[in-house]
Chains A and B, each alone.
Chain A
Amino acid sequence: MTEPAHMLTGDRIYRIHWMPGTDTLRGICHCGAERVAEEPVELWEWLLAHPYGHQSPEVVPPAPHAAAGTPVSPARSVVPA
């Protein structure tokens, strides 16, 4: 499979790439933060929680109410922004 070019341009684009040859998804926030996961529901929750959880751990603000109870533990941060 050829890697599709980024089709949407703009300042607030969220992307999830399904890594060819794997079951892994890679989420990329418009802020540059990235995370990999094995399924899409929790990866969307992490992406859409921006900016929560998209910074390095010591500056992560408290989770918003909407994100409460939606742990993202199965996802692994690969590029802490």
Chain B
Amino acid sequence: MAFARNQWYVTAYSNEVGRDLLARTVLGEPLVLYRTESGEAVALADRCVHRRYPLSESRLDGDTIVCGYHGFTYDQTGTCVFVPGQQRIPRTARVAAYPVVEQDSLIWVWIGDRDRADPTTIPRAPWLDDPRYTVVRGMAPLNARYSLLVDNLMDLSHETYLHGGYIGTPEVANTPITTEVDEERGIVYVSRHMDDAECPPFYAKSTGIQGRITRWQDIEFHPPCLYLLHSRIAPQGVYPPAEGEDSDAFHAEIVYAITPSTENTTYDFWAVARDFAIDDESVSEYLHQSNHTVVMQDVTALNILEQVIASEPDKYQELSINIDTGGLAARRLIARMVEAGTVGAPR
């Protein structure tokens, strides 16, 4: 499976990167992440240039990493500043340093040609770092390829069958969608607006709504990595006013970052930001536990699916129907990014 290089990927949450060394593999490239004493996040190649020992298994000395095997020492630019037993530092003694942007409580790393890294192209998820919202979050490593998680998230009709009793109700699978693609900006938008739906426990217990609801699901996917689900929940028949705040509804901004690790493994970063009951710790605990359960239901299913697909020939047969309209659009944009990112890139 080819990766979309020359793109930004979420590699960690901000609070995962500190004065301990964190190992992550993104698009098959092993990285070590840490924070300098001044607080700047750093991502370096996680292999000592000497004998390939993982720098993530080493230690920090100030802002430098001292290799845990023979002491080769690297600064935050990846330049080797010390080798054992001799004065001369070989000219090629350096490890790659990756462009890093910390934004919206996410650590984005550019995988590709450094010269092409433009931080202004990183999509935003402002709810994750906004005092008007309370956020629960987690990360689930997936033993399945990236494309399976994209397919999963782009077609939420699976909620009815895989996540019944949590977030799925019959109306999700039964409600038609509208799909939009912005060809220039590379965005897929999928709207599913349910006028009269059963309230799933996920929202009944967290909002306190009793009875049926008007439920809107608006997916905004910024391939290759950032997936936003704008979820609006209101008592049945309550719609946003023509002007002003939509204060009679409950809003959850559900954020996923879908980051390929290797060809058959993926990081599933997930977060639920809500604008209701923001000081209620019991709601946070409930939503964290519930969404974790939902994510693990996906992980279990996709891990099974990976085993099946891995045993199939490359061009295995599929059947796409109306519910797949958004997923097909996402696949095409990703394929375009893979093609663009591999032109002139090392394979």
Contact = CB atoms under 8 A, between A and B. Distances in A.
Interface of A: 1-4, 6-8, 10-20, 23, 25, 30, 39-41, 43-44, 48
Contacts of B187: 8
Interface string B171-200: 000011111111111010101011100000
B197 to A, nearest CB: 10
A1 B332 contact: no
Given A1-B193, A40-B320, A40-B328, 4 more contacts: A2-B239, A3-B178, A7-B180, A40-B322
Interface of B: 175-185, 187, 189, 191, 193-195, 216, 218, 220, 239, 320-322, 324-325, 328-329, 332
Contact of B177 (A10, A13, A18): A18
A18 B185 contact: no
A18 B321 CA distance: 11
B121 to A, nearest CB: 16
Nearest to B239: A2
A18 B180 CA distance: 11
Given A7-B180, A10-B184, A39-B320, A16 B325 contact: yes
A13 B187 CA distance: 10
B297 to A, nearest CB: 26
Given A14-B180, A18-B178, A44 B322 contact: no
A12 B320 contact: no
Pick the most buried of B218, B239, B321, B324: most chain A CB atoms within 10 A of its CB.
B321
B178 A17 contact: yes
Contacts, number: 79
B193 A15 contact: no
Nearest to B175: A1
Contact of B218 (A1, A4, A13): A4
Nearest to A18: B176
Nearest to A37: B322
Contact of B182 (A4, A10, A18, A25): A10
A44 B328 contact: yes
A2 B195 CA distance: 7
A43 B58 CA distance: 54
Nearest to B324: A40
Contact of A4 (B193, B328, B329): B193
**Which 3 A-B pairs rank lowest in CB-CB distance, beginning with the nearest?**
A18-B176, A4-B191, A12-B183
Contact of A8 (B176, B182, B193, B195): B182
Contact of B179 (A12, A16, A39): A16
Contacts of B184: 10-12
B181 A13 contact: yes
A2 B76 CA distance: 53
Given A12-B182, A14-B181, A44-B328, A7 B191 contact: yes
Contacts of B328: 40-41, 44
20 contacts: A1-B193, A2-B195, A3-B178, A3-B193, A4-B216, A4-B218, A7-B189, A7-B218, A8-B189, A10-B185, A11-B184, A13-B183, A16-B178, A18-B322, A23-B322, A39-B322, A40-B320, A40-B328, A41-B328, A44-B325
B180 A48 contact: no
Nearest to B191: A4
A4 B322 CA distance: 17
A19 B193 CA distance: 13
A43 B332 CA distance: 13
A76 to B, nearest CB: 16
